[in-house]
Amino acid sequence: MGRGSDCATDAAPQPVAPLPGERVGFVNNGGIDLRVREWGDPTAPAIVLLHGLRGYSGTWRALAAALGDRYRLVAFDARGRGESDWDPGRNYYTDAYLSDLEAVVDALELEQFVLLGHSMGGTTSYVYAARHAERLAALIVEDITAGSSVAGAGFERIVAEMKALPTHFADWSQARAYWRKLRPNVSDAAIEERLFESMRADADGGVLWRYDAEGIAETRVRPDPARIVDLWPVIASIRVPTLVIRGGRSDFCSLSSVRKLESENPALTHASVEEASHYVHDDAPEAFLRLVEGFLAGVRASANTAKVSGAQRVEQGQES
């Protein structure tokens, strides 16, 4: 099926086919089970992938299919989403997401890795990079910067969406129509994936959210101001090589804010994908992949140069 074709059918979405060699497991953090997906060689350099507010770990399959021959890719459903447990205390704030990330990378014994986060996952990634620079080879953040989650058109759009979030759909056709209105530019296959990953049938034939919609909406519609992270000092303090990938049509990631931080922090650079919205890896997967590959190649080259220079200095010191 193509983009925007007739998806009025009331058939349940088909299960999303796993990639060859896809592995699924769970990590427990404080009584909450987190579903973890992995792709690629377990001995290869690792990339940890964090999805956005209403995302799911499977959103990274296309990237994993392209990079799985060179990297070990790890993604997990954030608490309250997918097959991960809901938080009984409705702690859907950055401190909880950070704790979950720390638990996953420790459980998998990832000593050093690349961290890539989209939107909400990007906030967690910034905070992790500021606190655990020694664990990261590089940081890639998709379409979020300082101020994105507290003001601006994108912030207002997301709050409005969460305020108006339906709790129940009469059938699958109504659920499809909801997703198509929300994401008019993605393929029908992408809509079907969202239906399968984020929704489920109830006993009466209706459709419910698979994730903790009410609890997650609460933290966006009526957040606790004391628990909102100020990303300005966080991003300014990061010393890990960092790439921000923003959508040229995004209403969420301010270009002026990105440029200001870039001018103040030499570790940070950015790229805009003009044809993409807030969901760059969905809207322009090939461009997103090229940026990720190019950035990581540059990070590896810089690391190798530093190693050679260090070895030469040691040799010179021994000879003198």
Tokens of 145: 């910067």
Confirm if 258 and 270 have CB atoms less than 8 A apart. Answer: yes
Q: Which of 162, 151, 156, 161 is nearest to 218 (CA)?
A: 162
Q: Could you tell me if residue 128 is inside a domain?
A: yes
Tens-of-pLDDT digits for all 320 residues of the chain?
344 444 557 899 999 999 999 999 999 999 999 999 999 999 999 999 999 999 999 999 999 999 999 999 999 999 999 999 999 999 999 999 999 999 999 999 999 999 999 999 999 999 999 999 999 999 999 999 999 999 999 999 999 999 999 989 999 999 999 999 988 878 898 999 999 999 999 998 899 999 999 999 999 999 999 999 999 999 999 999 999 999 999 999 999 999 999 999 999 999 999 999 999 999 999 999 999 999 999 999 998 877 666 555 656 666 55
Look-up: residue for tokens 């080879």? Answer: 137
Q: How many domains does the chain have?
A: 1
Q: What are phi and psi of 311, to 5 degrees?
A: -65, -40
Q: Could you tell me if residue 315 is inside a domain?
A: yes
Q: Could you tell me if residue 195 is inside a domain?
A: no
18-25's contacts with Cβ under 8 Å and 24+ in sequence apart are 19/61, 19/64, 19/65, 19/68, 21/68, 22/61, 22/64
Q: Could you tell me if residue 206 is inside a domain?
A: no
**CATH number of the domain residue 144 falls in:** 3.40.50.1820
Q: Could you tell me if residue 72 is inside a domain?
A: yes
Q: Could you tell me if residue 135 is inside a domain?
A: yes
Q: Could you tell me if residue 14 is inside a domain?
A: no
Residue 135 lies in domain: 23-151+231-319
Euclidean distance between CA atoms 253 and 182, whole angstroms: 18
Amino acid 304 reads N
Predicted pLDDT at 319: 58
Q: Could you tell me if residue 99 is inside a domain?
A: yes
Predicted pLDDT at 248: 97
Amino acid 236 reads A
Euclidean distance between CA atoms 274 and 249, whole angstroms: 6
Euclidean distance between CA atoms 307 and 311, whole angstroms: 6
